[in-house]
Amino acid sequence: MGKVGLGVAAGVAVATCAVAAVMVGRRVRRRRRWRRVVAVLEEFEEACGTHVGRLRQVVDAMAVEMHAGLASEGGSKLKMLLTFVDALPNGSEKGTYYALDLGGTNFRVLRVQLGGNSSDRSAILRHDVDRQAIPPHLMTSTSEDLFDFIASLLKQFVEKEEGFSELSAVKSMELGFTFSFPVKQMSILSGILIKWTKGFAIEDMVGKDVSEPLQQAMSKIGLNMRVAALVNDTVGTLALAHYHDEDTVAAVIIGTGTNACYLERADAIIKCQGLLTTSGCMVVNMEWGNFWSSHLPRTSYDVDLDANSPNPNDQGFEKMVSGMYLGEIVRRVILRMSEESDSFGPISSKLSAPLSLRTPLMAAMHEDDSPDLREVARILNDDLEIPDVPLKVRKLIVKVCDVVTRRAARLAAAGIVGILKKIGRDGSGGVTSGRTKGLSKVRRTVVAVEGGLYTNYSMFREYLNEAVTEILGEEISPHVILKDTEDGSGIGAALLAAAYSSPNVDTVQLL
């Protein structure tokens, strides 16, 4: 019995050791997998680095590309489009003006009443807004069908105000038309549609003036209204901000997409020699989403995102900065992490699906300040079908969101300072018409910023503001104000209609 007992004991010991060895082995493998997950984050964070030296390189590259885009057509990835807006609202505008804002599956009509008190640069006495959905079938129909529908609703909106139907019979009303699709501007009144986006596919409008079918539709139903200004949303934002503050020199939109415009000297627009403006300046639409430089911190995730997008090798800056793409970059990093560890469980089909993590959800995870990151857990479970994610993994995901957001905001900041450098408002003199000017007195400079990413995402806004200060330095940054601006695409368009409604305003000409 003694020998048997010893044998059993020995067997149990061996089995126990084997079990222990298996458990130790599992723990070792889990640690290795976890280290690989952490390594994914560390590599990504390093590749996304935006130290101030690199940001200043991006600033210089932006200024150089702006100059190249002004020098010749196709000279830069920045299109640097003329807007034919050479006079911005200054507070003297008086009367009632209208705006039509068409940029997606909805459109808005606005009525803006201006007091005309130039000493009070906020003399917008009232504004009314009506939002309407565009029936899906009109997005692929004809230009006549689309604008007949819009004009009829615009007329209903005008006639809601007592007396306006009588007034319109004797006096033409002025309309600012915000059209947020790719357009080659031909004058303040007209522009040629390059292509449709956002689900529209009305073939008979491509290559045609976009103001003409609207004007015809309004005339057809007896609406005595004239398109006084055709603009995009960035120009409207600049107009509204300048109306409130004459030191405003640029406008940036950072939302689903991103773009910028600014006030440039006419003689710096070398590709349009013979450009005559009454003010000596013109607003330039940069289309900065297409900016590219080797100094941008591009990762393998950005390369893959671009390759699998509908527009590869296009809009490179936008794909690193705007709300359309930030959530997608985070999703791609999380997917890579889940491939390295079983902490995420089986890889879900949702996590593998492109664009399944929208940027508002990413922002909600990033800004989750609960001790156990409940909102992160909820979004992972409900939206990406990843249940029961451990707290340490949730913390890692928040860090991924932070890396992506910080890079985007700091690059946007570098872009803004690049504009200031080009026009000599960054304290260095700037690049103007191919020569560098000497140091001059620092002027107060306002940049209008609009878009949900900046307005609604506090961490993004903090990172952007912080980076502008960091790049400019303590001496210059107090003179640069980033001003949150709302509804430039609506009210700003009405203000431009007011600015260009006077018969005394000369039309910009090309000799």
Please give the positions annotated as active site: 108, 180, 233
> What tokens does 185 get?
């501007």
Beta bridge partner(s), residue 262: 250, 284
Report the distance separating Cα 431 and Cα 437, nearest Å.
Answer: 7
Beta bridge partner(s), residue 115: 94
Helix axes 391-422, 2-47, angle to 10 degrees: 10
Report the distance separating Cα 183 and Cα 190, nearest Å.
Answer: 9
**Count of CB atoms within 10 A of residue 73's CB?**
10
Q: Report CA 38 to chain centroid distance, whole Å.
A: 31
Closest CA to 68 of 80, 60, 76: 76
| Dihedral sign computed on CA atoms, order 316, 322, 324, 325 | positive
Closest CA to 485 of 283, 288, 243: 243
Kind of pairing between the strands at 275-276 and 258-265: unpaired
Report the distance separating Cα 21 and Cα 350, nearest Å.
Answer: 37
Helix axes 52-71, 458-472, angle to 10 degrees: 80
Q: Is 505 helix (H, G, I), strand (E, B) or coil?
A: coil
Helix axes 326-340, 2-47, angle to 10 degrees: 160
Report the distance separating Cα 410 and Cα 428, nearest Å.
Answer: 20
Tell me which DSSP letter residue 133 carries. E
For the chain, the residue count is 511
Tell me which DSSP letter residue 252 carries. E
Beta bridge partner(s), residue 424: none
Q: Is 422 helix (H, G, I), strand (E, B) or coil?
A: helix
Closest CA to 423 of 274, 283, 328: 283
